[in-house]
Amino acid sequence: MFEQKRIYNLAEREAARAKQLLSRFNHAMLQGGDEYYDRMGEISVPVLIIHGTKDPALPFQHGLALKKAIPHAEFMRLEGSGHEIHSEDWDQIIGSGKVKFIKW
């Protein structure tokens, strides 16, 4: 379920924070980082991959591939969820015992 009011409020805060329209999209201009390609196998910190089964931006198979690429990563499937995490998913995520630290 799309949380229109919550997402609208988030977008409104983001629009107020980012004064320059182009700066909201500057991540698309990033280049380089080639030295980090194919190095996910080196990750040694705890990793929890949370992925919705109905994600239109990054299909569910991407989450499974990430789980396979990162040693010892845990995976949480959010049945029916899309690309964003909804408040109705919070109980499942937090109650799983897999989340050790969240920083927003």
Residue of 50, 34, 52, 43 whose CA lies nearest to 70: 43
Domains of the chain: total: 1
Long-range contacts, 7-11 (Cβ 8 Å, 24+): 7/84
Is residue 74 a part of any domain in this protein?
Answer: yes
Residue 78 lies in a domain: yes
CATH code, domain with 25: 3.40.50.1820
Q: What is the pLDDT of residues 83-98, one digit of tens each?
A: 888 888 888 888 888 8
The answer as to whether 100 is a domain residue is: no
| pTM over 0.75, yes/no | no
- In angstroms, the CA 48 to CA 66 distance is 10
Q: Residue 85, class by beta-carbon neighbours within 10 Å (0-12 exposed, 13-18 middle, 19+ buried)? A: middle
Q: Is residue 101 situated within a structural domain?
A: no
Does the residue 102 lie in any domain?
A: no
Q: What is the pLDDT of residues 45-81, one digit of tens each?
A: 889 999 999 998 899 999 999 999 999 999 999 998 8
Residues of the domain holding 49 = 4-95
104: in domain? no
